[in-house]
Structure 1
C-alpha cells in the first residue's frame, strides 16, 4: 500500500507543479499554453533541481542560488521570453502551487510540497 500512496503523492504533486507553471505561462506569455507541456516542464525542472541540489546544494548560499537558477533555466529553455519572463513564470508557479496545496492540505489530501516547483 505504501508504494501506491507514494506514487499517488508524486502524481498529485507533479500535477500541482504543472498547474502552477501552466498558470504562469498562460498569464504572462501564451494564451494557448498546453497543460501537458507544463507538466513535462515541471518534471524536467524537478529532475534538474534535484541533480543540481545533490551536487551543489551543500554549498552555503551558492548552492541554493544555483539550484534556483537551474530551475528558472529549465523554464527559460522550455518557454519563450527570456530570463525575466522565466523568473516571473516561476514566481507565479510558486504562488499558484502554494495556494492549491494549501487548500488540498486543509482537506488532508496532501502535504505542502509540489514536484517541479521549488519551495512549494
Structure 2
C-alpha cells in the first residue's frame, strides 16, 4: 500500500524541482535573481495557488493562471509583465 504513495511523493518532488529549475532559469534572465531555493519555493506556492483556484467551474483555469503569475510577481522584482514573461519562459522550459 505504501508504494503508490511513495511514488506520488517522488513524482511531486521531481515535478517541484523541475518547475523550480524552469522558474530559476527564467527569473535569472528576466529579473536577474540567482537563487534556486527561492525559485523552488515560488514553484510550490504557485502550485498551491493553482490547486486552490483551478477547480472553479468555467473560469477556474483563467483565475489559476492569474494566481500563478501573481505569485511570481509577489516573489520577484518587476511588475505583471515581467512576471508573465518569467511564467511563460518557465512554462516553455
Q: Structure 1-normalised TM-score?
A: 0.72
Q: CA RMSD in A?
A: 1.0
Aligned residue pairs total 91
Gaps of 5+ in 1: 97-120
Residue 8 (1) aligns with residue 5 (2):
no
On the 8 A contact 2:19/2:90 being kept in 1, the answer is: yes
* Structure with a larger share of its residues in helix: 2
Aligned position for 1:36: 37
Take 1:38 and 1:53, find their aligned partners in 2: how far apart are those partners? 21
On the 8 A contact 2:53/2:61 being kept in 1, the answer is: no
Cα deviation for residue 5 of structure 1 reads 1.1
Q: Structure 2-normalised TM-score?
A: 0.92
**1:81 partner SS:** coil
Runs of 4+ in 1 over 4 A off after TM superposition: none
**Which fold has the larger relative contact order, with Cα–Cα distance below 8 Å and residues 6 or more apart in sequence?**
1
Instruction: Report Cα offsets for 1:43-81 as digits up to 9, x if no partner.
Output: 000001100113x2x12xx32211100100000000011
Aligned position for 1:115: none
Aligned position for 1:50: 51
